[in-house]
Chain A
Amino acid sequence: MKLRKNEIWAAHQKEIAEDHYYFARSCIRQNIFPAAENLYLNILKNELGKDIFDDERHTTCTGIAYHSGLIPMETIMTVVARQFALMNEAGYENFVVSCVTSFGIYVEMLETWKHFPETLEKTRTALKKATGKSFEIPRNLVHASDIIYKFRKELSEKTRYKLVNQNTGEPLKVVDHIGCHYAKIFPSHGIGGAEYPYVLAGLTDEWGGEQVDYPERRHCCGFGFRQYLLKSNRGYSVTNSKKKFDSMYPYKPDLIIANCPGCTFFLDRWQYVIAEQEGKTYGENGFGIPVLTYEEIAGLLLGYDPWDIGLQIHQVAVEPLLDKLGIEYDPEKKYKGENGEDIGVPEKPKILQSV
């Protein structure tokens, strides 16, 4: 019997290494959600017992600037090659990328080297000349969310909570948003490909939630690189996010889960902007829909304190989600600084509800 496209993609297996990873950080993620990457490393090390190396020598891949038309391809290729050289020097061969833009960049450079072998030779020469380093291509290269997906069942066994509304017993309705560069450029490098990505839906299914399938599920969040980076062009970004919110709204989602740092940021902040500019909110009772990364939701279900994993840094309040999950939290601790220091609280938005 002929398989349907979604069945073919469901059968597609992407190789994800078992252990011993070299971790490449994300520019956006470490600034905007500064506790997320530590949480990710803690989950891998402490919950899953994996070896993951956090190298202090690697730099940005320059991907945001590359996709804004600033960086020559030869430059970004050689920066990528330097990261691989650092991985080699540290004794690792499995490269894990925290950022979806970077993940797309690394895969694109690997594919370009395959299709245009002369570019690989030129990159080797340029890296040697610039830094004295040489490099080998990683044996395995994945996005950070791929590893959480791979070990979703193991994590499920350790969770204290499920994606279930404690008040009603119903599964929480979860919107998954996959960063465009995770699989739209090279579908075979993503779990489920570009049209049927399962990397986050698989977490929703495993951890007790219910997937929301809405018309604009695969639409871009609207980052647009240079379009967001210029204040004059930012309408591009908010318009595309709004298209998604308007499309998902009738399905009453309890939560948005994202695997791209930029998408997590835009889907969080543009809800605030749309509320303040147009008076429109998308959650219940004037709140927004909480937007969490895959490891933030994993951390919550595993029982980490929401304020220790940085959920107070989101502009959309997460308390409605915590209440549904039945997670206890101390409101007094939310905005305390180091050692319980009193550092004031953020100003409340005029329209978007906050706690």
Chain B
Amino acid sequence: MATLYEQLEKDVRYIEGSKACMNCGVCTAICPAAEVSDYDPRMVVSTVQQKDEAELEKLLKSDTIWRCGECLSCKTRCPRGNVPCYIIQALRALSIETGLFIESEQGRKQLAIKRTVGDHILKYGYCIYIDEVDLETYPEQGPVWDWLRKNRESMMERLGTSYRKNKAGTLRNTSKESLDDLKKIFDVTGGTQRFEKIEQYSSVKAKELKKEFRGEKDEYWKYLYNE
């Protein structure tokens, strides 16, 4: 079986993002995630380049790799051309592939995102869709959004959209043919398998945490999304 490093080194983002970090810390200075948590991209790169299999496993099981916001400000500023965010992307992918994501509180939350944005992609052809964005889930949307949502049949007509229509335009329906294409792309390229892995590993963790696990917005989803 391939070691964790052997798997990581196949990811082009890891190859592109790693160029002998000298630990200057510019990435941490510019990082919005470092402002709001103890996240430190310099430490992530420093740890990964030590090539220590046990340390890498620790990282894959940690909250650390899930703190990054992927703004990619670090790519602009690194004087050596490293990209801590690309390394994070590769680590996140490996954490899910190996199932280690369920070992951290933040990693587990991937299920909550898979069951919203992830599932919306294959259902609507969009990452987000107005019908799914309610105030309970997104309270910061505020009263204007709530009013728009309640009156969306009328307002979407007034604003000239193609909401729920089978023709070009804003918020149009995605055709069955396009949705089928998306699904087939997911099947052929590992997207479907990635989603299945998130569900399968999560079911094990939910059982361990004694949370109901039946799909969609179940007790485990609410726990992950809110707490």
A residues with a Cβ closer than 8 A to B are 25, 27-28, 30-32, 34-35, 37-38, 54-60, 62-65, 67-75, 77-79, 82, 104, 112, 115-116, 119, 126-127, 129-131, 180-181, 184-185, 187, 194-195, 219-220, 222-227, 229-236, 238-240, 243, 269-270, 272-273, 308, 310, 312-315, 335-338, 341, 343-349
Q: How far is the CA of A282 from the CA of B213 in the complex (A)?
A: 44
B43 close to chain A: CB less than 8 A: no
Q: How far is the CA of A273 from the CA of B145 in the complex (A)?
A: 13
B170 close to chain A: CB less than 8 A: yes
Bitwise interface map of B from 72 to 108 toward A, beta carbon under 8 Å scored 1, else 0:
1101100000000000010011001000000000000
Most buried by A among B118, B129, B185: B185
Q: Which residue of B32, B96, B154, B175 is within 8 Å of A343 (Cβ)?
A: B154
Task: Give the number of residue pairs across the A-B interface with Cβ within 8 Å.
Answer: 262
Q: How far is the CA of A147 from the CA of B117 in the complex (A)?
A: 30
Question: Which residues of the other chain, A, contact B16 by a CB distance below 8 angstroms?
Answer: 112, 115
Closest 3 A-B residue pairs measured CB to CB? A224-B69, A337-B154, A346-B147
Please tell me if the beta carbons of A236 and B36 are within 8 angstroms of each other in the complex.
yes
Please tell me if the beta carbons of A38 and B126 are within 8 angstroms of each other in the complex.
no
Bitwise interface map of B from 155 to 196 toward A, beta carbon under 8 Å scored 1, else 0:
111111101001111111011011101101111111100110
Please tell me if the beta carbons of A56 and B172 are within 8 angstroms of each other in the complex.
yes
Q: How far is the CA of A62 from the CA of B144 in the complex (A)?
A: 27
Q: Which residue of B32, B33, B189 is within 8 Å of A72 (Cβ)?
A: B189
B residues with a Cβ closer than 8 A to A are 11-13, 15-16, 32-33, 35-37, 66, 69-73, 75-76, 89, 92-93, 96, 109-110, 112-114, 116-118, 121, 125-130, 133, 137-138, 140-148, 151, 154-161, 163, 166-172, 174-175, 177-179, 181-182, 184-191, 194-195, 198, 224-227
Q: How far is the CA of A4 from the CA of B133 in the complex (A)?
A: 47
Please tell me if the beta carbons of B93 and A69 are within 8 angstroms of each other in the complex.
yes
Q: Which residue of A lies closest to B130 (CB)?
A: A31
Question: Which residues of the other chain, A, contact B144 by a CB distance below 8 angstroms?
Answer: 312-315, 346
Q: Which residue of A65, A224, A269 is within 8 Å of B140 (Cβ)?
A: A269
Most buried by B among A68, A234, A239, A314: A68
